[in-house]
A and B are shown apart, each in its own frame.
Chain A
Amino acid sequence: MKPRLNFEWLHGCSGCEIALLNSGELLFSLFQLVDIVHFPLLMDHKYIADPGEEGDLSLPEADIGLVTGGVGLASHLKILTAMRRQCRVLIAVGTCAGHGGIPAMRNQWTAGQTMETVFSTATTDTAPVPDGVPALLDRVSSIDEQVRVDVCLPGCPPRPEMIIAVLEALIQREEQRLPHKSVCETCPTVRTGKGQATIHRGTVRAAYTPGEPLDRMRCLLEQGLLCMGPVTAGGCGGRDVPLCLRSRVSCRGCYGPVRKYGNQLLDMMNALASNGIDYRTIIDRTSLLRFSGAHGRLRPKGERK
């Protein structure tokens, strides 16, 4: 009998799901590996999750549970708890589930401020918060802040190959081989050890000779572009060149910190300072936590402890 699989989607953008559904033949290997018993995006399976409704979520029991997205609403928390209860192994898929991801950027403000900004700023000034908008939790958390998580698989989105590999290892009871090095590990650009002393604004593009391969281009950080490669978990390009670098664009940090409790902002500042780069030339430093604002890393401004 094949292991049963539950798949849930919380506070995320569906990018993880789309990456998986878009992976062609790989998707069929998923179907061969497991029996999908619950996957709201693919199957019509109704259950109660709306806030305010009483009663349990009727999620089926499963051996493996995949969860994408973080936790930002009471209903997310409810679904997540039900998933944990019904699944023997729970896997956090994607950066939102593991580190909060983009939605956790709202942790820089209180839930009230967020609502106000969204519904009644200068451009939408007369609009009150409409009825039916579910109340926000005070902050967005990653799922491992709320329940026990067995495997954390980052990526925005994660490589479908990686999702399948994790499931295969799990089913065959092998050790998980997740990438644990930084993006720079597989980056072929040329490092000379001497770079720019300041960081350019985001409008500057990388300098390279068109037609020349990547391994003739100078390291983007040395060119003065804010590349988050050194402080970001690798794996986006498999064992090959990282994805953004393939387009000669600097790493945005979407795989989250290299080590689980690393802090991309602090680590990046440290990396810059120890290489003699003026980190104060970066505008809006806190945005470096754009993918990993959960775990209390981003807090409302003015909340000083």
Chain B
Amino acid sequence: MNWDAKIIAFCCNWCSYAAADLAGISRLQYSGSIRIIRVLCSGMVHPQQVLHALDKGAAGVMLIGCHLGECHYLKGNEVALARAEVIVDTLEDLGYASERFELTWVSSAEPERLVKAFHHMIARLADLDRGSPVFTAGGAGRLINET
């Protein structure tokens, strides 16, 4: 990975973090740009944290929780869903491209789905940042493991 951007991925402890764990055990490859932060539930990620990450220079933020109906705390991901709408709209108001934020659901048995979501996000951000200093600083900006 030549692209030295960082992508913060908030993964909920019960599904997506477990999926990331499984992805590691199964030796699935994904870019080192992804920085996972474990949270107890996707519903506990406040929009302010997403904004803070972007303000501090993250290229993008992912919020990954359990599938709807499968949240360990019953309704946490529904809160996350309601907040995601707010985040997308408000990021535009604040001058950020809303493509920098992504909400996905991944169950603990779906490491491939998780890795795919990572690749997808990286490709999207690379498209967005093509030509910008973050993208070109590291070199040609070629993506590895493009699926």
Binding site for B on A (CB under 8 A): 261-263, 265-267, 269-270, 272-274, 276, 279-280, 285-286, 296-297, 299-300, 303-305
Contact = CB atoms under 8 A, between A and B. Distances in A.
Contact of B93 (A267, A286, A300): A286
Given A263-B48, A267-B48, A305 B96 contact: yes
A274 B95 contact: no
* B contact face: mostly helix, strand, loop, or mixed: helix
B95 A266 contact: no
Contact of B94 (A265, A267, A279): A265
A296 to B, nearest CB: 8
Interface of B: 46-48, 51-52, 55, 79, 82-83, 85-87, 89-90, 92-97
B83 A304 contact: no
Nearest to B132: A305
Nearest to B79: A274
A269 B90 contact: yes
A193 B47 CA distance: 22
Contacts of B79: 274
B97 A269 contact: no
A278 B64 CA distance: 24
A304 B100 CA distance: 11
Contacts of A274: 79, 82-83
Contact of A265 (B82, B85, B93): B93
Given A273-B83, A273-B85, A274-B83, A266 B97 contact: no
A177 to B, nearest CB: 25
Contacts of B90: 265-266, 269, 285
A270 B95 contact: no
Contacts, number: 55
A304 B51 CA distance: 14
Contact of A270 (B47, B52, B55, B93): B47
A278 to B, nearest CB: 10
B94 A270 contact: no
30 contacts: A261-B52, A265-B93, A265-B94, A266-B47, A266-B48, A266-B86, A266-B87, A266-B90, A266-B94, A267-B47, A267-B48, A269-B47, A269-B86, A269-B89, A269-B90, A270-B46, A270-B48, A270-B83, A273-B83, A273-B85, A274-B83, A276-B82, A279-B86, A279-B89, A285-B89, A296-B55, A303-B95, A304-B92, A304-B95, A305-B96
Nearest to B95: A299
Which of B51, B55, B79, B95 has the most chain A CB atoms inside 10 A of its CB? Answer: B95
A293 to B, nearest CB: 11
Given A262-B48, A263-B48, A263-B51, A270 B86 contact: yes
Contacts of A286: 93
A232 to B, nearest CB: 15
Given A266-B47, A266-B48, A267-B48, A273 B96 contact: no
A257 B84 CA distance: 21
Nearest to A269: B86
A279 B47 CA distance: 14
Contacts of B96: 304-305
Contact of A299 (B52, B86, B94, B97): B94
Nearest to B97: A304
Contacts of A285: 89-90, 93
A265 B91 CA distance: 10
A271 to B, nearest CB: 9
Contacts of B47: 266-267, 269-270
Which of A262, A272, A279 has the most chain B CB atoms inside 10 A of its CB? Answer: A279
A299 B55 CA distance: 13
A299 B85 CA distance: 21
A260 to B, nearest CB: 12
Q: Which 3 A-B pairs have the closest CB atoms?
A: A299-B95, A269-B86, A273-B86
Nearest to A275: B82
A58 B63 CA distance: 54
Nearest to B50: A266
A56 to B, nearest CB: 35
